[in-house]
């Protein structure tokens, strides 16, 4: 595990002599972990399209899910699962906190408590999905010398996800600003589309 995640490893260990280490030995139950994450994202995509009420962020969520599923599937079939696993861990760690905080933000608690939860979400989200994920993307850029089609495609999927995360950070900051200065505590992603 990388030092940014509490371990003493380094993302550079994924690479050997300027190339992705293809001799990566899969730990026990690695395939189960990978396929469960893929199944979770596929299920979430189907729910997004067919079950959930359409929300204002539907196009962005659709693009995010499609990009994430493509990254998981593509990293696995091209033997780049080290990268895919790190992306999954970073997403899962942030998602746990995000879901807990969103339930608190949508509760009937007082506004200042919701602002506290919003700031907590901002810190976790920024650290995991922008700072550490950005470090992973830069490491992949700096340490890979063989930019074949498979690796280039994988790297682009990661960059697309990163850009989406940057946009979501903007939305989180906007929500915190509205809560602090306009006293609006609504969950912006749950607003229905206004057709006018």
pLDDT along the chain (196 residues), means of 10: 74 76 76 91 92 84 90 86 86 78 72 74 86 93 87 91 91 78 61 40
Cα four-point dihedral sign 169, 170, 171, 177: positive
What six digits make up the tokens of 1? Answer: 């595990």
At residue 45, the pLDDT reads 93
Which domain covers residue 131, as residue numbers? 30-182
The answer to whether residue 123 sits within a structural domain is: yes
Total domains in the chain come to 1
194 within domain boundaries: no
pLDDT computed for residue 47 by the predictor: 92
Is 7 contained in some domain? Answer: no
Q: Is residue 167 part of a domain?
A: yes
Taking phi over 0 as left and psi of -120 to 50 as alpha, with beta for the rest, 26 belongs to beta
Residue 80 in domain: yes
19 lies in a domain? no
Q: Are 150 and 75 in contact (CB under 8 A)?
A: no
Task: Answer yes or no: is 188 within a domain.
Answer: no
pLDDT at position 111 is 67
Residue 68 lies in a domain: yes
d(CA 185, CA 183): 6
What's this model's pTM, rounded to 2 decimal places?
0.81
Of all residues in the chain, what percent are helix, strand and coil, respectively (each to 5)? 75, 5, 25
Q: What is the pLDDT of residue 166?
A: 93
């Amino acid at each position: 595990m990388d030092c940014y995640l509490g371990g003493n490893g380094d993302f550079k260990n994924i690479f050997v002599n300027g190339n992705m280490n293809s001799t990566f030995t899969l730990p026990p139950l690695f395939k189960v972990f990978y396929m469960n994450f893929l199944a979770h994202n596929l299920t979430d995509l189907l729910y997004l399209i067919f079950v959930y009420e359409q929300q204002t962020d539907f196009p962005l969520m659709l693009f995010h899910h499609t990009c994430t599923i493509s990254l998981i599937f593509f990293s696995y079939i091209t033997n780049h699962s080290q990268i895919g696993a790190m992306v999954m861990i970073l997403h899962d760690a942030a998602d746990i906190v995000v879901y807990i905080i969103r339930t608190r933000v949508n509760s009937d608690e007082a506004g200042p408590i919701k602002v506290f939860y919003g700031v907590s979400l901002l810190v976790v989200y920024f650290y995991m999905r922008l700072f550490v994920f950005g470090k992973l993307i830069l490491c992949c850029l700096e340490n890979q010398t063989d930019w074949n089609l498979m690796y280039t495609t994988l790297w682009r999927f990661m960059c697309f996800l990163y850009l989406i995360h940057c946009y979501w950070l903007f939305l989180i900051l906007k929500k915190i600003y509205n809560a602090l200065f306009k006293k609006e505590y609504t969950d912006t992603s749950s607003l229905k589309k206004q057709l006018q």
